[in-house]
């Protein structure tokens, strides 16, 4: 009677080859997942939202040092600085065309400071006349309404004691937000409460920090000046998370220093 030959189990070398093939296949699958995830993250960052860290108090009290802000890069269309994390010099203008409104908080590349990221509020559009008179913002000769919100004790960026005067400022368009000004013990200010009248050129925008006496902005023509539309990255949309100023990424003892009341705080746009 003929014997039925049963399939024989492979030898040690065949087992090793199969295991190597399985490990290689798992590595390839994992690598594919990582590449896809990185591509999606890159696309989201390049085309939709990009996070920015607030390093100073120039936009206080709207934005605080330690806030992590998400910026909508699509809000005004794409330009050479918003279409890619790396500026693309061959792109000119914006596509599709878009423009900030008075009251928008925008992130832009300051070409007068090595292309660093700045975040300020747009108060003047192309063709506008902007001036500070007695601490009050004037646009095209019309003062922005200011409602006093109180005086608080504090210190300036150099640690000197100051009185912090807060106001609810309302632009002629109706956009409202809170600004603050410093007064020192001898009654003096920083000197930026009164300026000459600026005329915003075509294609430019006049931006200011809400912390008016602690902001290097369009009032400093040689350091910021009028912001070209091509240099605007996008509109600040919301605060994702905020950490107190003594937070350190590599110090676990500071990881709980979270400002819970600022998480997912929406930054209202202009009108």
Is 18 part of a structural domain of the chain? Answer: no
CA distance 117 to 23: 44
Task: Say if CB 235 and CB 71 are below 8 A apart.
Answer: yes
Judge whether residue 244 has pLDDT over 60.
yes
Global confidence as pTM: 0.80
pLDDT band, residue 6 (cuts 50/70/90): very low
Residue partners of 44: CB distance under 8 A and separation at least 6:
none
pLDDT surpassing 90 at residue 197: yes
CB 152 within 8 A of CB 166: yes
The mean pLDDT value for 252-261 works out to 76
**Per-residue confidence band for 172, with pLDDT thresholds at 50, 70 and 90:** confident
Domain annotation covers residue 222: yes
Q: Is residue 100 one of the residues assigned to a domain?
A: yes
Q: Is the pLDDT higher at 231 or at 28?
A: 231
Residue 40 has pLDDT above 50, yes or no: no
CATH no. for residue 158?
A: 2.10.109.10
Q: Would residue 182 count as lying in a domain? A: yes
| Pair 212, 57: CB distance under 8 Å | no
pLDDT of 175 strictly over 80:
yes
With a cut of 50, say whether residue 7 has pLDDT above it.
no
> CA 42, CA 67: separation in Å to the nearest integer?
22
Domain-embedded: residue 25? no
Quick check: 27 pLDDT over 80? no
Average pLDDT, the chain: 82
Render pLDDT for 78-130 as a digit per residue (tens, 0 to 9): 877 775 555 556 566 676 778 999 999 999 999 999 999 999 999 999 999 99
pLDDT of 9 over the 70 cut: no
Q: In total, how many domains does the chain have? A: 1
Average pLDDT over residues 132-155: 95
Per-residue tokens: 232: 């605007």
Q: Which residue has the tokens 């003096």?
A: 188
Q: What is the 3-state secondary structure (H, E, C) of the chain?
A: CCCCCCCCCCCHHHHHHHHHHHHHHHHHHHHHHHHHHHHHHHHHHHHCEEEEECCCCCCCCCCCCCEEEEEECCECEECCCCCCCCCCCCCCCCECCCCCCCCCEEEEEEHHHCCEEEEEEEEECCCCEEEEECCEEEECCEECEEEEEEEEEEECCCCCEEEEEEEEEECCCCCEEEEEEEECCCCCCCCCCCCCCEECCCCEEEEECCECCCCCCCCCCCCCCCEEHHHEEEEEEEEEEEECCCCCCCCHHHCCCECHHHCCEECCCCC
**Among 19, 245, 271, 227, CA closest to 107:** 227
pLDDT of residue 181: 94
pLDDT per residue as tens digits for the range 157-167? 888 899 999 99
Residue 5 — pLDDT band, cuts 50, 70, 90? very low
Asked, for residue 6, whether it belongs to a domain, the answer is: no
Q: Tell me: pLDDT of 209 over 90.
A: yes
Positions marked active-site:
58, 120
Higher-confidence position of 45 and 130: 130
Higher-confidence position of 181 and 80: 181
**205 in any annotated domain:** yes
Kindly tell me if the per-residue pLDDT of 3 is higher than 50.
no
> With 80 as the cut, is the pLDDT of residue 170 above it?
yes
Q: What letters, b where the CB count within 10 A reaches 16 and e where it falls short, cover 78-100?
A: bbbbbbeeebeeebeebeeebbb
Please give the residue range of the domain that contains residue 206.
45-266
Q: Tokens 């423009």 correspond to what residue?
A: 99
Query: Is the distance from CB of 264 to CB of 249 less than 8 angstroms?
Result: no
Sign of CA dihedral 86, 114, 242, 237: negative
Report percent pLDDT > 90 for the chain: 51
Rounded Cα–Cα distance for residues 153 and 74 (Å): 40
Q: Does a structural domain hold residue 20?
A: no
């Amino acid at each position: 009677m003929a014997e039925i030959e049963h399939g024989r189990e492979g030898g040690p070398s065949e087992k090793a080859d199969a295991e190597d093939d399985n490990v290689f296949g798992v590595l390839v699958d994992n690598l594919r997942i990582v590449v896809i995830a990185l591509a999606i993250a890159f696309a989201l960052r390049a085309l939709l939202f990009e996070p920015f860290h607030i390093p100073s108090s120039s936009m206080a009290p709207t934005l605080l040092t330690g806030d992590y802000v998400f910026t909508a890069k699509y809000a005004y269309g794409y330009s050479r600085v918003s279409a890619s994390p790396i500026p693309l010099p061959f792109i000119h203008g914006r596509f599709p065309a878009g423009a900030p409104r008075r009251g928008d908080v925008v992130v832009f590349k300051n070409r007068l400071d090595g292309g660093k990221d700045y975040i300020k509020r747009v108060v003047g559009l192309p063709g506008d006349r902007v001036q500070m008179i007695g601490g009050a913002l004037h646009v095209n000769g019309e003062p922005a309404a200011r409602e006093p919100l109180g005086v608080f004790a504090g210190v300036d960026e150099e640690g000197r004691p100051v009185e912090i005067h807060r106001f609810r400022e309302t632009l002629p368009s109706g956009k409202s937000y809170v600004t603050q000004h410093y007064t020192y013990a001898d009654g003096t200010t920083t000197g930026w409460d009164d300026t000459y009248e600026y005329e915003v050129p075509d294609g430019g925008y006049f931006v200011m920090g809400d912390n008016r006496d602690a902001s290097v902005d369009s009032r400093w023509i040689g350091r910021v000046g009028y912001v070209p539309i091509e240099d605007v990255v996008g509109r600040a949309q919301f605060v994702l998370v905020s950490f107190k100023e003594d937070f350190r990424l590599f110090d676990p003892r500071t990881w709980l220093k979270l400002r819970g009341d600022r998480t997912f705080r929406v930054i209202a746009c202009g009108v």
